[in-house]
Structure 1
Amino acid sequence: MCLFRIIIIIFFYFDVCVFIIFFSDLFFYERGGKKINRCHGQPAPRGAGEECFHCLFIYLCTYLLIVNDFIFGEVGARRCHGYMEGGPSVPRAGPEVSALPRAYCFGLGLGALPWLPGLPSAPRAGPEVSAHFRRGAAPLGVGVAARGRGRSGIGIGIVIRIGAAAAMKDVPGFLQQSQSSGPGQAAVWHRLEELYNKKLWHQLTLQVLDFVQDPCFAQGDGLIKLYENFISEFEHRVNPLSLVEIILHVVRQMTDPTVALTFLEKTREKVKSSDEAVILCKTAIGALKLNIGDLQVTKETIEEVEEMLNNLPGVTSVHSRFYDLSSKYYQTIGNHASYYKDALRFLGCIDVKDLPVSEQQERAFTLGLAGLLGEGVYNFGELLMHPVLESLRNTDRQWLIDTLYAFNSGNVETFQALKSAWGQQPALTLMSCTGMSSWKKGTFSHVLQSTDYTATHQIYAHHSLVHLMAFSITIRRSAHTGQPITVQLQTPFVPKSQDLDLHQGPDFQGAHYVYGTTLVPEVEGGPQPTVHMLWTPVPQDLTLCGEEQERSWEFLTAVAESEEEVKRSYSEGLALIASGSLHSSHIHAWDALWQGCCIDLDGPLPLRQALYGCLYYLLSAIPPRDNPGFIFHGISPGGLSNGTQGEDYWGHVFWDQDTWVFPNILLFYPEAARAILEYRIRMLEGALRNAEEQGYKGAKFPWESAATGQEVCPEDIYGAQEIHITGDVLMAFEQYYYTTQDQKLFREDGGWKLVGAVAQYWCSRMVWSEEEQCYHIRGVMPPDEYHYQVDNSAYTNALAQRSLRFAADIAQDLLIPVPEEWVECANKIKVPFDMEKKYHPEYDGYSPDEPVKQADVVLLGFPLMHSMSPEVRRNDLEMYEPVTDVNGPAMTWSMFAVGWLELKEMQRAQSQLNKCFSNITEPFKIWVENSDGSGAVNFLTGMGGFLQAVLFGYTGFRITKTSLLFNPSCPDDVHKLKVTGVSYLGNKLKFTITKEEMRIEVSESPLDPPALPLEAVLEESGQRFPLGEGHSISFPTVAGWIQRSPTKAH
């Protein structure tokens, strides 16, 4: 060890000599015939050597301390041993030196020598020093110096080896040499040198960013040299995200992917202080992995980066890079749906105009194909609206635009007509055209086509045989093939349930049979219904034999509440299959239903499609006609119960049925509306029990109703406080009575008992306020569910008032004495009103600008028709429109639209109605509860509200005690509106409305039972027009009403 130390001491003195010899080269270099001071980057005046002698002194002192610590420090021996045995390549100074700046050099510092605070950045050895080493001036090997703050240096190492030292980085020399590389580039290089010498790091970063993006400077390995000789010297001063942006251009010139990946991994470590920079670096690594075919690592990178992106606030500059990578990955693996989603997200993060036209066209083409091929991609709306798709217009690929529009609208005829174009695409050869062949037929069709065959899958719930669901497979061969054709089938169905105690019974006529009871009763001690099910077994494949041209296979599922009923229904289905009329009988039932109602307009296609879709889904939810044995269980917001626990309201019945769906059904099919009311009558016993349990008289209908009428809402607060449901139920009875004058429902079928019980409930729920001298209803939750335990909800109290007045009116019609309490409570109940601001506060103590969940006070105007002036109606709309939650339930904006239509504010009405379209999913026009896609699916409530905006908004229909009002208000883009099948007092009416003229025709006036004769009356002129079957009347488009004619003749 002593010998070793002696050798080190000799080397030390040798180093000092060499250091002094090269002093001038270290601190000065020649440029333009002048000596430049490396310390200050300025021309050296006379005596510069003396002027910078303090620099030499500082270096020598630092060097002595380092070597002393290395040789004589307590860990010196360990360092020497580790260094000689291949240990750490960068020995560190001991504690005696640790107080010095960390950027020091071990050995002869020709790289990042220690530079104390207050002095310029570390000087570099000039070309003269490098030349000395190249000439063999250093007989000893050159080792790696200690490094700190990202700097490195070259010094005399401990291991003795023969060889010349590596050339040192010479930033000024590199920049000077680069300036002479081309006459057009000198200014740029000079600018870089100027910013570097002045240490203007931000401006220098911006200049470098421009530099690396300039194709003139991105030739060969120029950017790699730029990084090695220049950027690496100040990269620690560059914003991390900008550094990665620069380095991404550098790695493009690296021909070896392994080198590029290593370089990016090192960069990631350097920028780990910035999440965005790390994400961008990881995304670039993922892109390289994708290019070399390492799909597994690419997938893992995408998952990791996506999780990091979710933690970033909002959309950042790195999102587009990620979506570009993820979409390319999904395109590579053939995941069309995920590619479609992320490719659209990528386009949403950039300005498409920045892409070359050729790239726009390619992205539009691949997006269109992915949309058509992607499993579960139903909504092309975003793509159809995106400007990138227009890049294909007037090109040989325009057929894709036309195909997308045809597919999106469900136009199978146009879609098939375009097959000559899309059929030439290999990826689309076996493409399925999925959609309803006709929304009027109630059949879902799925068509698979190839050059050899066409396979059609149809599925439908039989409209008149209510216990049957059927599906069929039809295979038709092409003329030029005679080989057997086999189609494989898959079914996920397993006869198991978490809700039913199922048992397997004996097969019946080739069908499997299971039955069982529900495990949990609706209410404690309640009944547990039994379910019976038969279904045709589904084989693994179907084969069309060589001699067959076409063949169909039919499969049935029957579900009923008794073994007898399920077997009867299944047998009836088999008989219709045998006669070849199963599907045709289903279509016939739908045709008969459509003949009774239609809404058509000359206006925007999306509006027409939305109307057809809404009407179809509502008609699908109503009870079947001419099926007296069928027990109807009401309409849930999402139709039939579906989903997992808690989803889509468990199939329970809310106010949605009575307030939002019922009026549309009533206007076309009073008999179906009656079935809805009969459901409420059957639930009356449960409603009476609900009121009694809460200490009130009469009937309180449950917020969530099922099969008993008792409250089944899982959250107590809604069932206890959202009592407006009771008034909503009675309003439906009122509308039905005034539309049909069906006294039988009330006299004989339980309707009056329900009306009287509701009136009793409202009276018992009110308390008298001595202070205000009126009745209050306290502690309720209004339709705006953001507020609860409030007093005097405007909607609830106005609805209670309307309930009591209707109860008194129908009692008089039925010659039943009217309790005075009903009249007094109706006349003296408080409906909050602000006399100063002339609007209705939502409840006592409501503060303007307080957020509201959904339509509430605006419902006073419609459907309640609460008496108010146009000024107050406008104030209510203007007060609540800006504070209503934009993500609230879908039916909300329809009611604002109706309000603005009342006031003839067409543009404001249309802007509200347009909000509803974000709740519609393509291509089948199925609604979701909330505009962000959350909530109940097949949201009939929203569809009902939308239909009311047209049926009661555009037409101005209002059902009153003595008439059906009309007051048309159609938007400018609706040129003609036809509503066929409007039912009023037993008659069927057809309304045709244009801006200039209105025509009314009685299309049907039955004699058994006889319909009441009608007449039309114009509001302003008082002119009367008798209405007879088969005749029509016309007049200028003005307000008026339909009423019972005083004459008995038709």
Structure 2
Amino acid sequence: MAYVGNGHVATVIFSDFIYMNGLYNGANGTSHRARIPSTHNWQFKLESLSSSLYSLDVASGVFTEKLENTQVRIERRIFASQEYTELLLAHVVITRLTSKGHPIIVPVEVNEQTTSIDFDLQVASRDDKHVLLSGTTREVENNLFQSNRLSLFMYYTPLPTNGFQLGAQETSRTYLFVTSLDTEQARAKRSFDYASNEREPDEIWSSHVSLWNQVWLNGRIEIRDDVELQRHMNSALYYILSSLPPLSTRSEHKQFYGLSPGSLSRGGRLGEDYGGHSFWDTETWMYPSILLFYPTLAKEILSYRIALRDAAMYNAELFGYVGWRYPWESARTGIDVTPDCCPEVRLYQMHITGDIAFAARQYIAGTRDQSWLKNEMGGDLIYETARFWASRAVYNSDRKQYEILTVLPPDEDAQPFKNNSVFTNAVASLSIQLADRISCITEKPVPQAWLDIANNLYFPFDNVTQIHLEYENFNPIVFVENATIKQADVVLLGFPLMWPMSKEVRRNDLLTYERMTRDDGPAMTWSMHAIGHLELKDFELAEELFRRSYETYVRPPFNVS
């Protein structure tokens, strides 16, 4: 089913839960998005339906339900407000289709829930205008970085238990059902009062639509002569944007707590969409398109990593290193919340730190935002991730080069760990180089010892076949015949890293690793191969791989992937 969101709150339409950015329950590897009882999973009980229609307008961020019988037409619009992000709203219009002279009552199936497995909740107040549900999560994520359980205050409009009514002389009536959620009671109440008392329902809706329209005017991808692909593109960008803060809002700014590949609307159960965690999908796969069109939102994504810098420093020190080491999976506090089922990725898959540094590199290249470097700790992010890589490298006196040992590359089938992952070494080198290049702005000079590491890291390469090796002692012949890799790894050197290499090596890497990549690997793999073949002007193969990257993952009718 489709979902609506605004970066602060989100829900899958008609589901049992609402989720709030940064609101997690569960300790360490059990941390997941805290499930808030939904106030929007009720249904009309309209008999003898003549038509029903459900649609998602990605241009306005509104889900619409239209029901009709011989007497009445119902139109319900559900949306997460761009104007005030605390608000999740249902705008309902009941229209008479028969002559006046008799009242019409549309019954509704109320499914009010005031409990949750993730919260200690209580109904703090209730009358005919509002309900206040409040409480705290049941468990902190980590005692070192979260001293208190997280608060929730939810004001909402009670449903009419006697049904929706049209008076005998009424032709239509508009209702607005308001839910306002926040961790601060005053903020939740202020937004609830605004929507309930200070503006008309149609004004609330039209203001939201106008703000979404401005988002699309700010930037979008247009495709010629392929309507279906255009729909896929629009929906893909909409679903990412619905998990990010608005470009313009009247709500006060809040700390953003990460972009999960499963969106803000999911992640309430262990194993469901990674529990709402952020990992390399954030910076590597979703961030670039956001940076291109919405650089202020790209900065919000990076602000999440900066805000959790104390935990990143702790993560490095925990393993005997310095600088900032980011966890493979991150939620509220920045400690590693990878589930216990996957200790290898938690311990060894540290290229995430280089991925974040590379995202910072892209942000600087795209915006030239020196203020971010100097005044918003962007320079610290870049310097401290470089410091981590400098502490992680060791010198091999026989090889006379630096190495990074015991890591898990993007190819997670290479468990439990390998030495000298070519991708990991590349992002480490780029991280240190970036810190050096911006040092004239940040006034944080990079030690020569760090530069020696960046310029003299060992990159596994086979001179006979002219390919980069995924890691030290990787045997491509054995792999092609007997094994597979999980996903794009070496091919990421060409894009997005733009690592220097000849066209011959680029082609060899693409063709070699295509043959050994397993069919059920992540979709992103084939988009990277498509880009590689576009570089080499293999347009037919590029199109085939591009289609492969999304067609089997898009689920109609709302193009949820």
TM-score by length of 2: 0.86
Residue from 922, 925, 935 that aligns with 2:556: 922
The separation in 2 between residues aligned to 1:487 and 1:713, in whole angstroms, is 47
* Structure 1 segment 942-1021 matched on structure 2, within 5 A: none
Q: CA-to-partner distance for each residue in 1:290-344, whole Å, 9 max, x for gaps?
A: xxxxxxxxxxxxxxxxxxxxxxxxxxxxxxxxxxxxxxxxxxxxxxxxxxxxxxx
Contact kept, 8 Å, 1:576 with 1:582, in 2: the verdict is no
The separation in 2 between residues aligned to 1:636 and 1:612, in whole angstroms, is 19
- The aligned residue for residue 743 of structure 1 is 370
The separation in 2 between residues aligned to 1:444 and 1:830, in whole angstroms, is 53
Moved more, 838-847 or 634-643: 634-643
- The aligned residue for residue 85 of structure 1 is none
The letter for the 2-side match of 1:923 is P
Q: 1:645 to 1:814 in 2, by over 3 A?
A: closer
Q: 1:479 to 1:486 in 2, by over 3 A?
A: closer
Residue from 243, 256, 261 that aligns with 1:632: 256
Residue from 455, 459, 465 that aligns with 1:827: 455
Contact kept, 8 Å, 1:812 with 1:818, in 2: the verdict is no
Contact kept, 8 Å, 1:485 with 1:546, in 2: the verdict is yes
The separation in 1 between residues aligned to 2:323 and 2:268, in whole angstroms, is 35
Secondary structure of the structure 2 residue equivalent to 1:598: coil
Q: CA-to-partner distance for each residue in 1:905-956, whole Å, 9 max, x for gaps?
A: 11111111111111001111111xxxxxxxxxxxxxxxxxxxxxxxxxxxxx
Q: CA-to-partner distance for each residue in 1:61-120, whole Å, 9 max, x for gaps?
A: xxxxxxxxxxxxxxxxxxxxxxxxxxxxxxxxxxxxxxxxxxxxxxxxxxxxxxxxxxxx
Secondary structure of the structure 2 residue equivalent to 1:881: helix
The letter for the 2-side match of 1:922 is P
Q: 1:912 to 1:491 in 2, by over 3 A?
A: farther
Q: CA-to-partner distance for each residue in 1:940-985, whole Å, 9 max, x for gaps?
A: xxxxxxxxxxxxxxxxxxxxxxxxxxxxxxxxxxxxxxxxxxxxxx
- The aligned residue for residue 403 of structure 2 is 776
The letter for the 2-side match of 1:792 is N
1:645 aligns with 2:267: no
- Deviation of residue 863 (structure 1)? 0.6
Contact kept, 8 Å, 1:464 with 1:625, in 2: the verdict is no
1:892 aligns with 2:525: yes
- Deviation of residue 577 (structure 1)? 4.2
The separation in 2 between residues aligned to 1:748 and 1:815, in whole angstroms, is 12
- Larger helix share, 1 or 2: 1
* Structure 1 segment 635-714 matched on structure 2, within 5 A: 635-640=259-264, 641-714=266-339
- The aligned residue for residue 50 of structure 2 is 430
- The aligned residue for residue 792 of structure 1 is 420
Gaps of 5+ in 2: 1-13, 16-46
Residue from 541, 546, 551 that aligns with 2:173: 551
- Deviation of residue 539 (structure 1)? 2.5
- Deviation of residue 702 (structure 1)? 0.8
- Deviation of residue 482 (structure 1)? 4.9
Largest Rg, 1 or 2:
1
Residue from 838, 862, 875 that aligns with 2:466: 838
* Structure 1 segment 560-579 matched on structure 2, within 5 A: 560-578=182-200
The separation in 2 between residues aligned to 1:491 and 1:797, in whole angstroms, is 57
- Deviation of residue 542 (structure 1)? 0.9
Gaps of 5+ in 1: 1-374, 377-426, 928-1050
Contact kept, 8 Å, 2:211 with 2:248, in 1: the verdict is no
* Structure 1 segment 344-363 matched on structure 2, within 5 A: none
Contact kept, 8 Å, 1:501 with 1:519, in 2: the verdict is yes
- Deviation of residue 445 (structure 1)? 0.4
The separation in 2 between residues aligned to 1:509 and 1:870, in whole angstroms, is 70
Q: 1:428 to 1:665 in 2, by over 3 A?
A: farther
- Deviation of residue 429 (structure 1)? 5.8
- Deviation of residue 450 (structure 1)? 2.2
Secondary structure of the structure 1 residue equivalent to 2:365: helix
Secondary structure of the structure 2 residue equivalent to 1:601: coil
The separation in 2 between residues aligned to 1:454 and 1:517, in whole angstroms, is 40
TM-score by length of 1: 0.47
The separation in 2 between residues aligned to 1:626 and 1:459, in whole angstroms, is 20
Q: CA-to-partner distance for each residue in 1:43-69, whole Å, 9 max, x for gaps?
A: xxxxxxxxxxxxxxxxxxxxxxxxxxx
- Deviation of residue 891 (structure 1)? 1.6
Contact kept, 8 Å, 1:523 with 1:712, in 2: the verdict is no
- Deviation of residue 626 (structure 1)? 4.0
Q: CA-to-partner distance for each residue in 1:324-374, whole Å, 9 max, x for gaps?
A: xxxxxxxxxxxxxxxxxxxxxxxxxxxxxxxxxxxxxxxxxxxxxxxxxxx
The letter for the 2-side match of 1:744 is S
Secondary structure of the structure 2 residue equivalent to 1:469: strand
Q: 1:813 to 1:577 in 2, by over 3 A?
A: closer
* Structure 1 segment 227-626 matched on structure 2, within 5 A: 430-436=50-56, 438-480=57-99, 482-507=101-126, 510-525=129-144, 526-527=146-147, 528-540=149-161, 541-578=163-200, 580-626=202-248
Q: 1:779 to 1:600 in 2, by over 3 A?
A: same
Q: 1:797 to 1:567 in 2, by over 3 A?
A: same
- The aligned residue for residue 732 of structure 1 is 359
Contact kept, 8 Å, 1:554 with 1:577, in 2: the verdict is no
Residue from 516, 541, 544 that aligns with 1:883: 516
The separation in 1 between residues aligned to 2:434 and 2:451, in whole angstroms, is 10
Moved more, 503-512 or 648-657: 503-512
The separation in 2 between residues aligned to 1:576 and 1:586, in whole angstroms, is 15
Contact kept, 8 Å, 2:395 with 2:403, in 1: the verdict is yes
RMSD: 2.0
- Deviation of residue 644 (structure 1)? 2.3
Secondary structure of the structure 2 residue equivalent to 1:600: coil
Q: CA-to-partner distance for each residue in 1:654-674, whole Å, 9 max, x for gaps?
A: 111111111111111111111
Tell which has more relative contact order, 1 or 2 (C-alpha 8 A, sep 6+): 2
- The aligned residue for residue 5 of structure 2 is none
Contact kept, 8 Å, 2:178 with 2:192, in 1: the verdict is yes
The letter for the 2-side match of 1:642 is G
- Deviation of residue 802 (structure 1)? 0.8
Q: 1:509 to 1:670 in 2, by over 3 A?
A: farther
Q: 1:429 to 1:572 in 2, by over 3 A?
A: closer
Q: 1:694 to 1:491 in 2, by over 3 A?
A: farther
The separation in 1 between residues aligned to 2:441 and 2:51, in whole angstroms, is 63
Secondary structure of the structure 2 residue equivalent to 1:516: strand
Q: 1:905 to 1:500 in 2, by over 3 A?
A: same
Q: CA-to-partner distance for each residue in 1:736-765, whole Å, 9 max, x for gaps?
A: 111111111111111122211111110111
- The aligned residue for residue 442 of structure 2 is 814
The separation in 1 between residues aligned to 2:71 and 2:203, in whole angstroms, is 28
Secondary structure of the structure 1 residue equivalent to 2:242: helix
The separation in 2 between residues aligned to 1:844 and 1:754, in whole angstroms, is 29
The separation in 1 between residues aligned to 2:53 and 2:59, in whole angstroms, is 18
- Deviation of residue 576 (structure 1)? 4.7
Q: CA-to-partner distance for each residue in 1:605-664, whole Å, 9 max, x for gaps?
A: 221111111111122122122455222111011111434233111111111111111111
The letter for the 1-side match of 2:194 is E
The separation in 1 between residues aligned to 2:118 and 2:535, in whole angstroms, is 48
- The aligned residue for residue 322 of structure 1 is none
The separation in 2 between residues aligned to 1:446 and 1:775, in whole angstroms, is 61
How many residue pairs end up in the alignment? 502
